């Protein structure tokens, strides 16, 4: 017998993950609402965000790819430089990625990405601003969310998409330990570590850095990255901490501390023509923050599930964090859609819902663990965290072909999921076959796998053991 009320998802958080959930649930015909504590979906915060071709394919399915492409300019060159700003190696990284996948990497201001996601929603009224969650009550046949203003929202599940410091995760932990004392351990709660602090910001275009370039300047226990568009320059300065820390510790850096951090690297080169102090003086906005990384063991409990940074977080040097959030959204929505189709209008039991969440976690957790480790290795490489990282950057990397790193990225990108219930017809094809579209391993996929194994041998032979540990992780088993 069909239910009188439709299955309803209560999403907490209108960030990249939460807004993408709304798009995907709309395509699945699943009722939902988004609760956002802020008054603005796209506040003037953050810096840039990169959307890889896997996310581009999902945007195509959602009908919003063209909007994304028209709000940013194509990037072209990648530069690797030493502390003095001198070129170590450069190539057309972004052009190679486009040829591999038929879709370019989209570099957007994070605020613009949020605007795009919000303004293209089929029903923007589903987003409730100024809606801060006070508590979550699990009921025998559903769940209710109580807001700080006393409003009550009822549904069948709660999806926490409220970021690395969100409240839904803590509420889930509290409920889980009440139902099964000890199931959420102190070790899991503190698994997200902060090993770096990050000075990030943006300012006007900087012709001396190019109009479509990515530049990484390596240094000792510190690195700089700039990403340019014709009218914007995004900058990131990473400082390796002497002593890492973990949740619940949260360091809130002041404007004065950000200024001091900028002053400490003001004379550091960001290219062979400019130093960081020049970018800092022309900044529009900037902030000093801690960079968390880690993957939780429990992604759900009863009627609460987690998605995005609140359950898996990675360092942002290579720009995969937002993409992993979108991928997790897609996988969860695929499982929810399949569950509801199988239910034929009957509300799923708690046991059925748990099984659906378990399938979601089982599919996603191995991949985000691999990408988290890969991202950390890139961050350590940029900051010359060890002598091996420095050796690799200065003497091994210049011997590699222009295809070397784009092909490593290709092996990551081709494994990205898509929505199973939405046609992908019309999306451009590249040289690399998507894993979910191949009948047998493609020639390039095989060559990438061979290259990764060969690279491990090279790394071991030169003593760069850290690379040997992590590169095989991005290969699917």
Report CA-CA distances (Å) from 252 to 62, 291, 418.
37, 12, 37
Location of structure tokens 């293209």: 120
pLDDT of residue 401 exceeding 50: yes
pLDDT digits (tens, 9 = 90+) for 75-123: 999 999 999 999 999 999 999 999 999 999 999 999 999 999 999 999 9
> Rounded to two decimals, what is the model's pTM?
0.93
pLDDT digits (tens, 9 = 90+) for 127-150: 999 999 999 999 999 999 999 999
- Rounded to the nearest integer, the mean pLDDT of the chain is 92
Mean predicted confidence (pLDDT) in 414-441 = 93
pLDDT of residue 379 exceeding 50: yes
Q: Residue 261 and residue 55: Cα distance in Å, rounded?
A: 34
* pLDDT computed for residue 48 by the predictor: 95
Q: DSSP letter at 397? A: G
Report CA-CA distances (Å) from 317 to 58, 116, 381.
22, 23, 10
The pairing of strands 157-160 and 152-155 is unpaired
Q: Residue 332 and residue 330: Cα distance in Å, rounded?
A: 6
pLDDT digits (tens, 9 = 90+) for 222-271: 999 999 999 999 999 999 999 999 989 989 999 999 999 999 999 999 99
Neighbours of 43 (CB within 10 A): 11
Mean predicted confidence (pLDDT) in 286-295 = 97
* pLDDT computed for residue 22 by the predictor: 98
Residue 116 · residue 67 · CB < 8 Å: yes
Element (H, E) at 114: helix 110-119
* pLDDT computed for residue 440 by the predictor: 64
pLDDT digits (tens, 9 = 90+) for 21-58: 999 999 999 999 999 999 999 998 989 999 999 999 99
pLDDT-based confidence at residue 459 (cuts at 50, 70, 90)? very low
Element (H, E) at 359: helix 350-382
* pLDDT computed for residue 438 by the predictor: 86
Q: Helix %, strand %, coil % for the chain, to 5?
A: 40, 25, 35
Could you tell me the two tokens for 446? 């095989």
pLDDT-based confidence at residue 439 (cuts at 50, 70, 90)? confident
pLDDT-based confidence at residue 332 (cuts at 50, 70, 90)? very high
pLDDT-based confidence at residue 450 (cuts at 50, 70, 90)? very low
């Amino acid at each position: 017998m069909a239910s009188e009320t439709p299955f309803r998802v209560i999403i907490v958080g209108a960030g990249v993950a939460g807004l993408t959930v709304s798009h995907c649930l709309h395509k699945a015909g699943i009722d939902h609402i988004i609760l956002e504590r802020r008054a603005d979906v796209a506040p003037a915060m953050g810096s840039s965000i990169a959307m890889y071709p896997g996310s581009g394919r999902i945007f195509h399915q959602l009908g919003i790819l063209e909007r994304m492409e028209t709000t940013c300019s194509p990037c072209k060159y990648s530069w690797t430089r030493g502390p003095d700003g001198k070129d170590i190696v450069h190539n057309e990284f972004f052009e190679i990625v486009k040829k591999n996948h038929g879709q370019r990497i989209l570099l957007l201001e994070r605020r613009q990405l949020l605007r795009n996601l919000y303004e293209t929603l089929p029903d923007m009224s589903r987003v409730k601003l100024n809606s801060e969650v006070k508590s979550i009550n699990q009921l025998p046949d559903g769940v209710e969310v109580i807001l700080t203003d006393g409003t009550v929202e009822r549904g069948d599940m709660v999806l926490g998409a409220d970021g690395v410091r969100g409240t839904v995760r803590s509420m889930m932990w509290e409920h889980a330990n009440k139902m099964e004392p000890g199931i959420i351990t102190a070790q899991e709660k503190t698994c997200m570590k902060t090993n770096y602090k990050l000075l990030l910001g943006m300012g006007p275009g900087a012709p001396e850095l190019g109009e479509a370039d990515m530049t990484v300047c390596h240094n000792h226990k510190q690195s700089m990255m700039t990403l340019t568009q014709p009218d914007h320059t995004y900058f990131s300065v990473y400082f390796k901490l002497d002593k890492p820390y973990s949740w619940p510790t949260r360091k809130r850096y002041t404007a004065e501390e950000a200024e001091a951090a900028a002053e400490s690297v003001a004379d550091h080169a960001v290219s062979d023509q400019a130093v960081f102090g020049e970018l800092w003086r022309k900044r529009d906005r900037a902030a000093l923050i801690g960079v968390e990384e880690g993957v939780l063991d429990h992604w759900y409990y009863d009627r609460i599930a987690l998605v995005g940074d609140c359950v898996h977080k990675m360092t942002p040097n290579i720009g995969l964090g937002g993409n992993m959030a979108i991928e997790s959204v897609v996988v969860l929505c695929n499982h929810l859609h399949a569950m509801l189709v199988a239910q034929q209008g009957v509300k799923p039991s708690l046991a059925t819902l748990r099984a659906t969440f378990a399938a979601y976690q089982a599919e996603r957790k191995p991949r985000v663990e691999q990408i988290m480790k890969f991202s950390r290795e890139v961050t350590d490489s940029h900051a010359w965290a060890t002598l091996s990282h420095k050796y690799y950057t200065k003497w091994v990397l210049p011997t590699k072909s222009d295809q070397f790193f784009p092909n490593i990225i290709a092996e990551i990108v081709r494994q990205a999921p898509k929505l199973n219930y939405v046609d992908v017809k019309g999306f451009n094809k590249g040289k690399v076959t998507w894993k979910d579209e191949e009948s047998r391993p493609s020639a390039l996929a095989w060559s990438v796998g061979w290259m990764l194994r060969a690279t491990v041998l090279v790394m071991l032979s030169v003593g760069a053991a850290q690379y040997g540990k992590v590169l095989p992780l991005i290969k699917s088993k």
